[in-house]
Amino acid sequence: MKHLFLTSILAVGALMASACGNKSADRQADPAQDTVAPRQAVLDVMADADSVYVRVAEQVAFGPRVPGTPGHSRCVDYIMRRLKDAGADVTVQDTIFAPAGSAMKPQRVRNIIGRFNAGAPRHVLLLAHYDTRPWADQEADSTLHRTPIDGANDGASGVGVLLEIARLMNRLPKDVEVEMLFVDAEDAGTYDDDFSWCIGSQAWADAFDPTSRRVPEYAILLDMVGARDARFHREYFSDRYARNVNNLVWDAARRAGYGERFPDAPGGALNDDHIHIMRVGIPAVDIVESANPSTGSFNPTWHTLDDNLDNIDPATLKMVGDVVINTIFK
């Protein structure tokens, strides 16, 4: 994903206003409550740092997960197997898709869906992309720009956290239907074409029919959630059009003792998968590192060959898993 230019922000803002209407609410967070001191978490069931890290490492071991490559196909099989082992009902949206408004050619998209506790009183959607950037185009050395990246953070980290939550579902309350969406083809976009990004979530949104399926009350996207010392600021569109959901996430972070790592401060305005979830009327937020102090935006490893396991912190992965669990099952 990338930051949006001003013209795109205005265009997407109009889109979100029509899609989400008045579903956002005034922020209730109190910055004075931010603290690193541990506080009582909602649940005793929490993510295991080593377990999440293993799930990230297993994906990276497949090599780059670029659509059309063996590593990508192995990752599809892996996610499906992990979900089934955890007791999920698994389906795949396997389609040929070309986004409207883009010059991109039609391509195969495989979105993987896992459902837990079908028919429970509440229903939430969690999502992450599993594909990786085909090009290390942010490398200082231009001769490396055509080299695919490992995508340990930008790709595997969000998937790893979701699979850890899947592992824990049999120990968590059964009153929430949790739908997990692993989207394909997020990260092969070009910087001059907003619709060339997030192809999988665009395909999912275009096929979404609220008359034939249950509509989640909200969605949480995880993207680049594994870097050392990562801090997660409030992404612009999440705060603008799903602030009530963002408030739930930041409140859960404080209650779980992670307030310092989830500062009550604005982050970037991102063209990410949550935009297309919002497009179908589902309030959606993006947990993403978008205000790194050394870059002013993403982690320094973004779209470089340094996006590898050496720069993944199990403690960060666990933290994000804990926050999501305590948001959903509040």
Tell me: pLDDT of 15 over 80. no
Strand, helix or coil for residue 321? helix
Strand, helix or coil for residue 268? coil
Q: What is the DSSP string of 49-85?
A: HHHHHHHHHHHHTT----TTSHHHHHHHHHHHHHHHH
Q: Structural domain of residue 191, as residue ranges?
A: 2-328
> What mean pLDDT is predicted for residues 2-9?
47
Share of the chain above pLDDT 90, in %: 83
- Lowest-confidence pick of 16-20, 175-179, 208-212, 320-324: 16-20
> What mean pLDDT is predicted for residues 113-122?
98
Question: What's the structural domain count of the chain?
Answer: 1
Q: What is the DSSP string of 185-229?
A: S-S--BTTBGGGS-HHHHHHHHH--TTTSPPPSEEEEEES--BTT
> What mean pLDDT is predicted for residues 31-58?
72
> What mean pLDDT is predicted for residues 52-70?
99
The pLDDT mean for the chain works out to 90
pLDDT for position 1: 58
Domain harbouring 142, CATH code: 3.40.630.10
Cβ atoms within 10 Å of 49's Cβ, excluding its own: 18
pLDDT for position 97: 98
Tell me: pLDDT of 153 over 90. yes
Strand, helix or coil for residue 262? coil
Give the pLDDT confidence of 159-195 residue by residue, as tens digits. 999 999 999 999 999 999 999 999 999 999 999 999 9
Tell me: pLDDT of 41 over 90. no
For the sheet containing 218-223, what is the strand order? 89-97, 107-116, 176-183, 122-129, 218-223, 284-288
Q: How far apart are the first and last CA of the chain?
A: 30
pTM: 0.90
Contact, 317 vs 56, CB < 8 A? yes
pLDDT for position 38: 41
Between CA 20 and CA 3 the distance in angstroms is 21
pLDDT for position 29: 35
> What mean pLDDT is predicted for residues 145-168?
98
The confidence band for 25, taking pLDDT boundaries of 50, 70 and 90, is very low
Between CA 229 and CA 292 the distance in angstroms is 10
Chain position carrying tokens 């391509």: 107
pLDDT for position 145: 97
**Top-confidence residue, 26 or 53:** 53
The confidence band for 270, taking pLDDT boundaries of 50, 70 and 90, is very high
